[in-house]
Structure 1
Amino acid sequence: MIRITLAGCTGWVGKALVAAITAAPDLELVAGISRKAAGRDLGEAAGQPTNGLPIFATVAEALFVPSDVLIDYTKPDSVKANVLTAVAGGRHVVVGASGMTGEDYAEIDAAAREAGIGVLAAGNFSITATLLRRFAREAVKYVPDVEIIDYASASKPDTPSGTGRELAETLGAERMAGTSKPVSELGGARETRGAAIGAPHAVQVHSVRMPGFVLSCEAVFGLPDERLVIRHDAGTSAAPYVGGTLLAARRVSESVGLRRGLDSLMV
């Protein structure tokens, strides 16, 4: 039985995870973390039947309850500290929250390796979003010019999304040099070319934030006289993210250090 502490237990994905973990025969939910719901019953706060489980305000407090894995679906301003606290406390970590940079992930990887702990982080735990990343990695072997457009609701607090950032970092490490004129050589408003993310060959990422979108991400590849677009669109339910998150919780302890992307578990 894998014992799980869930950070962000009253959020959009968190509530769906409470129900799914409770129903899973090989998983045991032992505590939740939510600053606003601290002190309440975890089941009741997540819209489920009361279950007698506690909600704590911080990860540090929740670590007093024995557990094996922390799942984090919190906010960009808290996820890094949560992960480092959990790693220091000997917990494996599954990261579904967005907002961290490549430098943040490098720091987490170093801390996890030193502690002998596994961390698995994904900008998106849905199967179809994972396939977007896999297909884009195949395409970038043959098409050097690629840019990413990241869509989300008007209220999303971070840009780009975790899906867009993770995809850009992956493709930036694997693509060949593109043929587009460097941003440094452009006139006008250079910001319209988006943000350069990834290395050694950064990918331009453009974030759209407006009503009418939940989460969408597309990789646009171009060759002379032809174009390929690979796109993922999310619906309004958190269900697509649940299965991948639970798969990660079951397998995060298999290796030491940080792994990025759900496709790291797909063979």
Structure 2
Amino acid sequence: MTAPETEPRPEPRADHGGAPIRVAILGATGKMGRYAVAAVGGAADLELVAELGSRDPVSAALDAGASHLLDLTVPQVSPDHVAFAVEHGLHAVVGTSGWSAERRETLEGQLAAHPEVGVLIAPNFSVGSVLASAFAAKAARHFPSVEIIEMHHPDKVDAPSGTAVRTAGLISDARQAAGVGPSPDATTHDPDGARGALVGGIRVHAVRLRGLEAHQEVLMGGPGEQLVVRHDAFDRGAYMPGVLLGLRTVASRPGLAYGLDAYLDLD
């Protein structure tokens, strides 16, 4: 297996006083983690000080002198990792799924006692995917019908994907603000759930297929026309620019940011 390509080495950034950001990666041995190790290790303004597995003690990040924690572990342990980071003044960038509204509310309570700490939870680190979701939310106000199809590899454990849930939430909020009603649907009999999940009133369909990586289509329809906003990620290298953006920005944005769009100057 060839090693993932690293990002071209940027010049050190002046806003960190010339000192690199000291990063500990949790979940460094996973598929996403291996790409992150290469990306962080190849960035001149970042220093990888610890590569930790999901079962390694998070305290090892402190022992290594980290100022930032990148959590790429599993939903069962991610909240404890982030709580530890907040308690000890480490900024955290989180790519682990399973961060429900209830978990985020608990985290906001923890951050209230540490107002200097920044945390980014990103359902998707792909800049293209985040932009596609934002574009779809803007466009969906102008169409009576909208549905989402998300397509991933069969090793993915959650459905719908975090990206689809996030996209559905953005679309739902935009349509409600514009006074757009639910998509027309005359279905009254669906014992096997063929119409998909309802997320914020938006239908979401999940496909798991060998050969896919991460793909999403937002389908919008009106009289005589259809608009499709699609994004494709062909390997995990697509997420690395967003990971690096999060690590470089999180310290300057104290509190909780949910979604990489918070760092992309989108409305």
Same-fold status (TM-score > 0.5)? yes
Task: Choose which of 242, 245, 253 in structure 1 pairs with 2:243.
Answer: 245
Which residue number in structure 2 is paired with residue 179 of structure 1?
A: 183
Query: TM-score under structure 1 normalisation?
Result: 0.82
State the alpha-carbon separation in 1 of the partners of residues 191 and 254 from structure 2.
Answer: 44
State the alpha-carbon separation in 1 of the partners of residues 37 and 61 from structure 2.
Answer: 16
- Which ranges in structure 1 are unaligned for 5 or more consecutive residues? 37-56
The 3 A distance-change label for structure 1 pair 12 and 217 is same
> How far is 1:190 from its partner?
6.2
> How far is 1:61 from its partner?
4.1
The CA deviation string for residues 156-200 of structure 1, in whole angstroms up to 9 with x for no partner, is 1111212112111222222232232488xx2231622222223xx
Matches within 5 A, 1:112-191: 112-116=111-115, 117-176=117-176, 177-181=181-185, 186-189=188-191, 191=193
Which residue number in structure 1 is paired with residue 14 of structure 2?
A: none
- Which ranges in structure 2 are unaligned for 5 or more consecutive residues? 1-19
User: Do the aligned residues in 1 keep the contact of 2:146 with 2:183 (CA within 8 Å)?
Assistant: no
Which residue number in structure 2 is paired with residue 256 of structure 1?
A: 254
The 10-residue stretch of structure 1 (90-99 or 105-114) with the greater mean CA deviation from structure 2? 105-114
State the alpha-carbon separation in 2 of the partners of residues 152 and 206 from structure 1.
Answer: 11
State the alpha-carbon separation in 1 of the partners of residues 66 and 106 from structure 2.
Answer: 23
- Equivalences, count: 241
The 3 A distance-change label for structure 1 pair 110 and 223 is farther
Matches within 5 A, 1:1-267: 1-35=20-54, 57-116=56-115, 117-176=117-176, 177-181=181-185, 186-189=188-191, 191-198=193-200, 202-235=201-234, 237-267=235-265
User: Do the aligned residues in 1 keep the contact of 2:126 with 2:241 (CA within 8 Å)?
Assistant: yes
The 3 A distance-change label for structure 1 pair 145 and 80 is farther
User: Do the aligned residues in 1 keep the contact of 2:85 with 2:91 (CA within 8 Å)?
Assistant: yes
For 2:119, the aligned partner's letter is V
State the alpha-carbon separation in 2 of the partners of residues 172 and 103 from structure 1.
Answer: 19
SS in 2 for 1:155: coil
> How far is 1:102 from its partner?
2.5
Query: TM-score under structure 2 normalisation?
Result: 0.82
State the alpha-carbon separation in 2 of the partners of residues 148 and 161 from structure 1.
Answer: 11
State the alpha-carbon separation in 2 of the partners of residues 8 and 86 from structure 1.
Answer: 15
The 3 A distance-change label for structure 1 pair 139 and 114 is farther
State the alpha-carbon separation in 2 of the partners of residues 230 and 260 from structure 1.
Answer: 22
State the alpha-carbon separation in 1 of the partners of residues 109 and 68 from structure 2.
Answer: 18
State the alpha-carbon separation in 2 of the partners of residues 143 and 110 from structure 1.
Answer: 38
- How much is the aligned-residue C-alpha RMSD, in angstroms? 2.1
SS in 1 for 2:96: coil
